[in-house]
Chain A
């Protein structure tokens, strides 16, 4: 049944493209997203903890050992739920798109279908195919419907938009190339050339093979997860993308990268994390290298966000910082740290969606500026108080206040890090503080700026119903997970303890 999340999205895309009116395309897109979410929810309701649900398994190209194998464990299901939520919210926040509406939603749903496909694939090659499917529509969404960066005027605007789109596509493909190389190496050594995850986790690859292939695959996926120093596509891409695409990029597409790191690199090549036996520049294993890069990302992303003038760049860099927590959690190699990493994927997906919704849809689409200096005198809290309220709550969630999902996630990552990477925890703590500083700076500049009383307030259109619904949906999710984290932890933890991840805990250092 879960497979229909993919098929429905493809069908929905087709229907949107063919629909005669814009209004109909919107409704069709929303219904499609809703149906996908409903399918994940029904699965959640019937879920027994720890199960591995095989959805479809048919031979595809038997000569090459490829099969069309869809399955879901708790981690997949968590991210499927996130995809459904982000898709619905994104559509609600692009209700006002008038330019080539049908095509917009068609591309959008193809992207969603690809994302669903990645999260459901239990065959390495199939995962790669869906991963590539998801890249193409991203390019068009940004290149056609993207917004211009704040310092672009006139004809330059289009060029910069295309620059961002092209940069994102090139980075994605460069990452994919690394993954492809790694996949080919795995294929060559896999027994019977069988690339299904179950077979690969049981195969034992030689240690030095894993040591060389693991970083290729991990790095390839980590590019899309925004790992420093390969993150630079993210802020430009986020800032140039239309709101819904930013929400999906930060909310879901970056999770594709992190998911790949966990599901492919770490699950299939756990030996790559083992110590090398020698030291280079003080690093004794890939784990140390990537953990340090993750922490640099946390601090660097936050620090750069602190000095941005463009509202969307602030949030773009905040994504880099928050994704650093995902990667750090993965590198802790402890149950609690990995659990935190997956929760952070979910949490950041929801929160980044909210932040981009406020920055892109509620503020930029109304004021046509994203410059903090220009927004500050508008005192938007008095003009669009709803947006201010949403941003305050989203900001609180983003800086990891307890009660919101971000707290539970970062909390677990940090506990895991105290166990195995204690020297990095204070650095991450500094990153959290800088994160608080930039979030609060953006909040006060955009909404609580200081203006003389005689400056007229700009007349802006009121917040529409779809925007309110989308905000409430995302806020509800971050609060539900924040106050009752078991709802997801009971999915994630048993999955991490399943035999699929045996190699990780046995092969990896405690």
Chain B
């Protein structure tokens, strides 16, 4: 089943390349496969038994046994959540690019290849197989930025590619060492060994460098680097603003909505279960990295002149909450049963935040795409003014998305951040308090955007700007509606991930 889901977009991409001789045909095929992917992922949601612990829908085939390479796929609540999010955002992104004449056949094919990479990353349970998708998703993303990006696209794309590759190579080397010590690449098996303490033993016995003691931390930091670049965690974030700003906004929707989640997913699926001791041991630095990721980009977002860069920094800030939640959950592992409720809150919050930020950030960049199409690419914070009076529907809907982004109760951003803080305060009161500063700053810079762009004196240059067309309103409706639904009824997500969170808490983090 999962195999089918992963191969479907690849097939779609090839069909787009072969039959998409006109733009209309190409986008039609792409949309067809995008929707099929979404429906299939929703079917997975429907079929998932949220109360069962462990992986569901698993498939297992021997691939290259002497190298520990197996075809092992499966999904739990986390996996299905990521599948639904990716499929949904691909559909949104395709809708956003529907009317953008610059984006042709190859673009749509690459988007579908990217979707396949995302699906694969979120379902593979063997490192090598997972790494294949992790890397292969980067190639379409690179070309999406490189070919259709803004004026500085060459530099941005290369920076994006090389930074991510630095992390990937570190991650790869760490896993090769893990394989050498344990003989397996299987995430679940490695997590089991880590839980029972066998992993540390194997590392000490089989990798006798530095008398075995520092091997675990070394491998942990190498793997951490891979995910820290992808998420990104400050100070490994410097590739992101340029990339998000230069990429076509339709692509940025996917980069921020789905690809950045690959990093958080790595924290949850790999670092937390396989390196629990190291996570606890390095709690303090990790926690402060998370705080830095929350606070510093919020400051940076405040002073940006380019709307895309503002939202790019805001994106880092929001993912910082996820990292904070993961760190907190790590600290509570095993040692403190009475804090189980806090752990559950933090982890559930992280999962909610993953979905919610994906939805909100992608929608914001969707609005930017619509704005750029109306202004011919102009998107400076200072370029506008009084848009509220010129394009009221646009401003109203985008305002909803902005308020969702700053975490207004009743919209989707609130429950996740609330739960993360609920979990983190009992444990790391100081760090959490400092992080709250991030919430405040987010409110400030987002309100500044509203004030400068939507309100204020009307900029006569945009007198003739058309408001959202009916098609655009219809296309945007599901995204906006979902924000309200999740704001009022977060159980939609929490219900799906319940079993997974409970299992993480029970220990082993499988």
Q: Do A and B come from one complex?
A: yes
Which A residues from 7 to 41 make CB contacts under 8 A with B?
none
Chain A proximity of B402: nearest CB distance (Å) = 35
A418 and B207 within 8 A (CB): yes
B154 and A396 within 8 A (CB): no
Which B residues from 158 to 207 make CB contacts under 8 A with A?
158, 161-162, 165-166, 169-170, 172-173, 176-177, 179-180, 207
Cβ-neighbour of A418 out of B64, B69, B166, B177 (below 8 A): B177
Chain A proximity of B101: nearest CB distance (Å) = 15
Cβ-neighbour of A422 out of B64, B157, B170, B209 (below 8 A): B209
A433 and B165 within 8 A (CB): yes
A412 CA / B179 CA spacing, docked (Å): 11
A422 CA / B154 CA spacing, docked (Å): 36
Instruction: Name A334's closest neighbour in chain B (CB-CB).
Output: B180
Sorting the interface of chain A by its residue count into under 10, 10 to 19, 20 to 34 or 35 or more gives 20 to 34
Known: A422-B207, A433-B162, A450-B154. A485 touches B136 (CB 8 A): no
A415 and B176 within 8 A (CB): yes
B128 and A402 within 8 A (CB): yes
Chain B proximity of A362: nearest CB distance (Å) = 19
Cβ-neighbour of B169 out of A392, A433, A485 (below 8 A): A433
The digit string for B130-173, where 1 denotes a CB below 8 A from any CB of A, is: 01100110010000001100000010011001100110011011
Note all chain A residues with C-beta closer than 8 A to B69. Answer: 485
Note all chain B residues with C-beta closer than 8 A to A444. Answer: 146, 154, 157-158
Sorting the interface of chain B by its residue count into under 10, 10 to 19, 20 to 34 or 35 or more gives 20 to 34
Which A residues from 236 to 287 make CB contacts under 8 A with B?
none
A493 is an interface residue with CB less than 8 A from chain B = yes
Known: A415-B176, A448-B147. A432 touches B169 (CB 8 A): yes
Note all chain B residues with C-beta closer than 8 A to A418. Answer: 173, 176-177, 180, 207
Which A residues from 416 to 430 make CB contacts under 8 A with B?
418-419, 422, 425-426, 429
Of listed A392, A418, A429, residue having the most chain B CB within 10 A: A418
Chain A proximity of B124: nearest CB distance (Å) = 11
A100 is an interface residue with CB less than 8 A from chain B = no
Q: Interface of chain A, helix or strand or loop or mixed?
A: helix
B506 is an interface residue with CB less than 8 A from chain A = no
Chain B proximity of A395: nearest CB distance (Å) = 10
A422 CA / B214 CA spacing, docked (Å): 13
B180 and A433 within 8 A (CB): no
Note all chain B residues with C-beta closer than 8 A to A178. Answer: none
A385 CA / B289 CA spacing, docked (Å): 44
Note all chain B residues with C-beta closer than 8 A to A408. Answer: 64, 67
A425 CA / B365 CA spacing, docked (Å): 41
B170 and A485 within 8 A (CB): no
A429 and B67 within 8 A (CB): no
A402 CA / B176 CA spacing, docked (Å): 13
Of listed B69, B128, B173, residue having the most chain A CB within 10 A: B173
Instruction: Beyond the given A408-B64, A418-B180, A436-B165, please list 6 additional residue pairs across the A-B interface where CB-CB is below 8 A.
Output: A401-B132, A402-B132, A433-B166, A436-B161, A441-B158, A444-B146
17 contacts between A and B (CB under 8 A): A402-B128, A403-B132, A403-B136, A408-B64, A411-B67, A411-B128, A415-B176, A418-B207, A425-B173, A429-B170, A429-B173, A433-B166, A440-B161, A444-B154, A448-B146, A485-B67, A493-B66
> 9 tightest A-B contacts by CB?
A402-B132, A415-B176, A418-B177, A418-B180, A436-B165, A401-B135, A429-B169, A403-B132, A485-B64
A interface, CB within 8 angstroms of B: 336, 392, 396, 399, 401-403, 408, 411-412, 414-415, 418-419, 422, 425-426, 429, 432-433, 436-437, 440-441, 444, 448, 450, 484-486, 489, 493
